[in-house]
Amino acid sequence: MQSWWRGGVTYQIYPRSYQDSNNDGIGDLKGITERLSYIADLGVDSIWLSPIFPSPMLDMGYDVSNYTDINPEFGTLADFDALIARAHELGLKVIIDQVISHTSDQHPFFIESRQNRTNPKADWYVWADPKHDGSPPNNWLAIFGGGAWQWDARRHQYYLHNFLVEQPDLNFHNPEVQDWLLSTMRFWLERGVDGFRLDTVNFYFHDALLRNDPADYRKKDKPEWNPYAMQYHIFSKNQPENLAFIERLRALLDEFDDRAVVGEMGESHHAIKMMGEYTTGKRLHMCYSFEMLSDPFGAAHFRKQVEEFFTDAPKGWPCWAFSNHDVVRHVSRWAEHGVSREALAKQMAALLLSLEGSVCLYQGEELGQTETDLEYNELIDPQGLRFWPENKGRDGCRTPMTWDASVPNAGFTQGKPWLPIKAAQIANNAAAQLDKADSVLSFYKQMLRVRRQFESLRTGDTKFFATSEPILAFSRENKVVCIFNLSPEPHQVAVQGVGEVIVAEGANLVSGQLQLAGNGFALFHDQGVVINGKSE
């Protein structure tokens, strides 16, 4: 029997922004549970909850202070158990976010570790002596700006933080650290979770010799808005020891029935190749990177990601996404390629849900939701606060769900929402789309039904046709052919050997010519398709 995750679709929930049940302005577990029937009705296979553990919330839960409890803002363990039970009743699997490369500086283990060099947790974090001149041990940079080393006067040493100063990195070279982290994951597996999303899965190990990262080998015409992108991070992360730990983690999941783990590849160099490496053999079940979560757009770009992955890792498995909690929503990011918000949203749904691999949808994506335009004084995200205005941070994609324009705060809360809910987002509300046959929401439901109906769309091999921009065309297992016009201008494609239409928008087949409006697309039954005179 095929595992649920292989070719499956996961719906990502940002808990603070989904549904507030107690009107404190912050989404919570009870609120999510109330909305699970909406998610099940979409037709997805699973949900992924962004971090729900106790945290000072300096990085919105990605700074964990307790790995085996629930943040009181979100509820209790009993609320989590009720969510799991209801999700399983509805046929939904539940994946939770695991942030194990680092902890909060408020975690009891770090508080103990920083006291001196002899305590039981002294070697649980990455500590290093200063150079003779007092400077840090090497040139490693932090993602949120500045150097990756913070001085601690108690130990007369620096500690490593790849992210915020308040997010010290754990020392994975210490076997006790690995054992403890796996024990916290066992806690949740025994509680009934169906798997994990692993944050920054390639960051766990650092180079034990603390060698300098070299400059990025790619030519840059000017400095990056974030200097982190100007280094080639071959020592601060991406260490070979990482894979051995991933195999230990996979062995833990294999003790339980039908569980799965998806990793986030936080890397801008060779990320597709690394996705394959991390999913081949008894490692991660799935992995995703940012190649389709960033600015590049076009037939050649999308084709390259899929072909490169399966060429490098024919036994690996990717997870594709266009939006998530870390990037500008794709309907806004790629707006210049769309005739309209609705047309682009539908086309991207059809493309994403036709790709070989598994798929992740981000809450609100099914509504064609756009990025929220926030002022500096409305920001909470440290990325935006540090790099404004060149980068406005991630709050714009994290604003609350818009359920119903006829009620206060679009039905998210009766209190003051933790981030603003603006008119542009309220216009894209669920209630207005639920019973509208041509809405973005209705199309997502249709396309998810199609993906479930055709096993070839979930697990079949992909063969691309030799088309030129802006036409992207491929066949899944020679059973379903998918043709997309990735531009706002109309285009025409010569097509032979297609059967009945499965789903289409802005497409008309006349005498062997497929006429595609801007953002038009069509999925047909494949009966030996030939496109522009070429069968492959």
C-alpha span between 86 and 322 (Å, rounded): 28
User: Which of 142, 136, 111, 137 has its CA nearest to residue 125?
Assistant: 111
Task: Examine the residue annotation and report whether 255 is marked as an active-site residue of this protein.
Answer: yes
User: Which of 316, 315, 333 has its CA nearest to residue 324?
Assistant: 333
C-alpha span between 51 and 59 (Å, rounded): 10
DSSP category for residue 75: -
- Name, in order, each residue with C-beta under 8 angstroms of 335's C-beta and a sequence gap of 6 or more: 341, 344
The DSSP element (H or E) to which 490 belongs, if any, is none
Residues constituting the chain: 536
* 3 state SS of 422: coil
The angle at the Cα of 319, spanning 313 to 324, to the nearest 5 degrees, equals 145
DSSP-assigned states of every residue in 24-38? SSS--HHHHHHTHHH
DSSP category for residue 117: S
C-alpha span between 481 and 469 (Å, rounded): 17
C-alpha span between 536 and 524 (Å, rounded): 16
* Residue whose structure tokens are 């070839």: 456
The angle at the Cα of 387, spanning 160 to 293, to the nearest 5 degrees, equals 85
The single residue of 190, 255, 257, 336 carrying the catalytic annotation is 255
Task: Examine the residue annotation and report whether 81 is marked as an active-site residue of this protein.
Answer: no
The single residue of 59, 63, 73, 199 carrying the catalytic annotation is 199
Question: φ, ψ for residue 519 (rounded to 5)?
Answer: 65, 20
Query: What separation in angstroms does the CA of 398 have from each of 371, 421, 435?
Result: 9, 10, 26
Mind telling me the catalytic residues? 199, 255
